[in-house]
Amino acid sequence: MAYTFNFPDVGEGIHEGRVVEWLVSAGDSVSEDQPLLKVETDKAVVELPSPKAGMVLELHATSDATIEVGDPLVTIGQTGETTPATAGGVRPAPSTLRLAPKVEAPGSAPVAARRPLATPRTRARARELGVDLTAVRGSGPGGRITDDDVKRASTTSNAPAVEPVRQPRTMPAAVAETIADGEVERVPVSHLRKVIANAMRTSKQTSAHVTHVDEADVTELVEHYRTVKAAVEAEGGRFTLLPFFVKALVTVLKRYPIFNASVDEERQEILLKKTYNIGIAVDTPDGLIVPVIRNADRKDMVELAAEIGDLADRARLRQLRLDELRGGTCTITNIGPLGGIFATPIINQPELAIVGLHRIQERPVVIDGEVAVRKMMYLSVSFDHRWIDGADGARFMSDLVRLLSKPGLLMARL
């Protein structure tokens, strides 16, 4: 008997999605668990597998269709069967399948599907040297652009120095229009941007945001990092500064568990988490995505570096699984490579705090009455002042700064 597969409840409060791509067509034979289509949800782009084997009799949604949980996706049966009016649920009229607006600007150039793969440090280096990463072929794993690739691109170019090239975000095609105020472009809001907008609004309306800022002398940390990086990369691995910050954050979270918590407001209870799942905010061409490093306290620096790099790469390609985006207990956002002095990050609900890492730069400081040039950086923590007092925010940040300024203390606690 023919069976209609409806858009399932994938959890995490997800109620709708957008059909990105069909991987099968009507008339195709499919096996059980074979991917049928890709759907963009509030969290990620996921593949939905076939619940049973058979022949695809009918596709009920087109590409770009917005679908709700329970809407029919595909009917599967045997050769010669016809599609029933109802199978596996009531089939709504075609008009209930809402199509996302899709407009094209006549003569416009196609928008890049993804930006080049490179670490934040490499991107910063490219900006300094005026190198356009879209014109650089990466020699690293998976086509990743390395510092050496950027250096070669810079030295082989005979063009004069130019302003740093900033990678544009992937935007839907726009159409020009003239209104009373003049010419404008109407650009459809992407599904992910709607999700981000709703999350930001909800967070600001829910939490009483307070941001505490401090600075750390990371001269010794950078020196230690360079030593470890050379050793790891000599064995073919990858390593960044971020694992040091993850480990330092976990150490401080254990001392101040309220920063690794959420609140059950209905029962008026604070949930102090006993796991340390650190979210890492990743800047992608489509918008901010936060994959989660699970059990960060149980992983060494090299494991953390590899996992962070892998998650960031797949976040930019929209290839993360839903379970890799769930269950965060505290988040880090690394703003430093993009410039600026410091920022006030917005809390990633339902967490109670988010730590911002800012630019490392050499500055003169006074040490024992003498001026010395040191590598300094600002750190910030935004927290929910309803549940966390300002004094605890100051203590939390003071301990984090102390660990980062004296990496020997951090190493002793790993």
336 and 395, same domain (yes or no): yes
Strands of 3-6's sheet, edge to edge?
3-6, 72-77, 54-59, 29-30
pLDDT in tens, 170-185: 555 566 677 777 888 8
- Asked, for residue 381, whether it belongs to a domain, the answer is yes
91 and 122, same domain (yes or no): no
pLDDT, mean of residues 256-270: 95
120 and 78, same domain (yes or no): no
Q: Which segment, 102-116, 127-141, 322-336, is predicted with the most confidence on average?
A: 322-336
Q: Is the pLDDT of residue 112 over 50?
A: no
With cut-offs at 50, 70 and 90, classify the pLDDT of residue 115: low
- Asked, for residue 386, whether it belongs to a domain, the answer is yes
143 and 84, same domain (yes or no): no
Q: CB-based burial of residue 365 (10 Å sphere; 0-12 exposed, 13-18 middle, 19+ buried)?
A: middle
Percent of the chain at pLDDT exceeding 70: 80
- At residue 91, the pLDDT reads 41
Domain boundary among the residues 175, 196, 229 is at 175
Q: Which segment, 24-38, 208-222, 284-298, is predicted with the most confidence on average?
A: 208-222
Q: Is the pLDDT of residue 22 over 70?
A: yes
62 and 145, same domain (yes or no): no
240 and 371, same domain (yes or no): yes
- Asked, for residue 147, whether it belongs to a domain, the answer is yes
- Asked, for residue 402, whether it belongs to a domain, the answer is yes
220 and 125, same domain (yes or no): no
18 and 81, same domain (yes or no): yes
Which of 88-92, 105-109, 225-229, 238-242 is predicted with the least confidence, judged by mean pLDDT? 105-109
Distance, CA of 273 to CA of 76 (rounded, Å): 44
Scanning the structure block, which residue is given the tokens 């690739």? 149
The CB-side HSE value for 317 (13 A sphere, CA atoms) comes to 15
pLDDT in tens, 343-393: 999 999 999 999 999 999 999 999 999 999 999 999 999 999 999 999 999
Q: Is the pLDDT of residue 294 over 90?
A: yes
Query: Across all residues in the chain, what is the average pLDDT?
Result: 82
With cut-offs at 50, 70 and 90, classify the pLDDT of residue 162: very low
Residue 23, both tokens: 């991987």
Alpha helices by DSSP H, 180-266 = 191-206, 219-234, 242-255
Scanning the structure block, which residue is given the tokens 């967490």? 351
- At residue 124, the pLDDT reads 63
- Asked, for residue 7, whether it belongs to a domain, the answer is yes
Domain boundary among the residues 99, 128, 148 is at 99
Q: Which segment, 81-85, 94-98, 196-200, 394-398, is predicted with the most confidence on average?
A: 394-398
70 and 122, same domain (yes or no): no
Which of 39-43, 66-70, 322-326 is predicted with the least confidence, judged by mean pLDDT? 39-43
Q: Is the pLDDT of residue 298 over 90?
A: yes
Which pTM value belongs to this model? 0.68
With cut-offs at 50, 70 and 90, classify the pLDDT of residue 127: low
* CATH number for the domain that contains residue 83: 2.40.50.100
77 and 151, same domain (yes or no): no
Please list the active-site residues.
Answer: 385
Query: Which is more confident, 68 or 212?
Result: 212
- At residue 146, the pLDDT reads 81
- Asked, for residue 382, whether it belongs to a domain, the answer is yes
Using alpha carbons only, give the angle 377, 378, 382 rounded to the nearest 5 degrees: 150
Percentage helix, strand, coil for the chain under 3-state DSSP, each rounded to 5 = 30, 30, 40
Q: CA-CA distances (angstroms) from residue 21 to 63, 65, 73, 299, 370?
A: 6, 10, 12, 36, 63
40: Cα separation from own chain's centroid: 14
Our count of domains for the chain comes to: 3
Residue 160 DSSP SS3? coil
Residues comprising the chain, all counted: 414
Domain boundary among the residues 150, 175, 200 is at 175
- Asked, for residue 200, whether it belongs to a domain, the answer is no
* CATH number for the domain that contains residue 408: 3.30.559.10
Which structural domain range is residue 70 located in? Answer: 3-99
pLDDT in tens, 304-336: 999 999 999 999 888 888 889 889 999 999 998
Which of 21-30, 106-115, 234-243 is predicted with the least confidence, judged by mean pLDDT? 106-115
* CATH number for the domain that contains residue 169: 4.10.320.10
Residue 253, both tokens: 């979270």
Residue 152, both tokens: 């070669």
300 and 158, same domain (yes or no): no
- At residue 128, the pLDDT reads 66
Residue 184, both tokens: 């404008």
- Asked, for residue 390, whether it belongs to a domain, the answer is yes
349 and 220, same domain (yes or no): yes
- At residue 93, the pLDDT reads 37
